[in-house]
Structure 1
Amino acid sequence: MTEISKQTYIVMERYIEKNRQINKENREVIYLYENMIKTVNKQFALTNVLDISYKSSSTNFGVLYLHTNQGLFSYQLDSDPTDFIKKYNELKRSFSKR
């Protein structure tokens, strides 16, 4: 299975240690393959992904939304996902022509 594109996203982990709240920023990756989108915890068949959208905010972060038939999944980003979304749209168009 060949990776077509990938996008880094941020997962914030909050926990208490020695009576202090610790905020830890973890980086994970969303992979776009020919027939699926895969994250560290989820895997979506491309036929089950209805759309991908992105909402930027006034901070340095934005949110990538995966609209699927299993629900809406959001991923916090600190980089521009334009290339990832473009590759998804190209792949989805070619996939629907099959």
Structure 2
Amino acid sequence: MFLLQVDEEIQIKLLMPKDATALTTVLCANQEHLKTWLPWAVEIPSVSTYEKEIIPSWLQKFADNNGFEAGIFYKNKLVGMAGLHYIDWRNKTTELGY
């Protein structure tokens, strides 16, 4: 598992299915702002969809060495995300998301 302890209060780590409720809560609370920039945020997926489909697909992407989606935690509370959406190893490029 990937975990980066930035300082005493901040961690960046892979999201697990148990984080689906916290993720959905943060996304819904910020939906108006997010949907301006992110087309997928017009309709936030359900907790169940994150738990059973989306987060497991992110974990598989990490296991396949093809990028990652990680949660940013402040004082153990999910406050955001950062990730590499796809890694093109041949051309040494990727897309950063946050």
TM-score normalised by the chain length of structure 1? 0.30
- The answer to which structure has the higher helix fraction is 2
Q: Which has the larger radius of gyration?
A: 1
Identify the structure with bigger relative contact order (alpha carbons < 8 Å, sequence gap 6+).
Answer: 2
- The answer to which structure has the higher strand fraction is 1
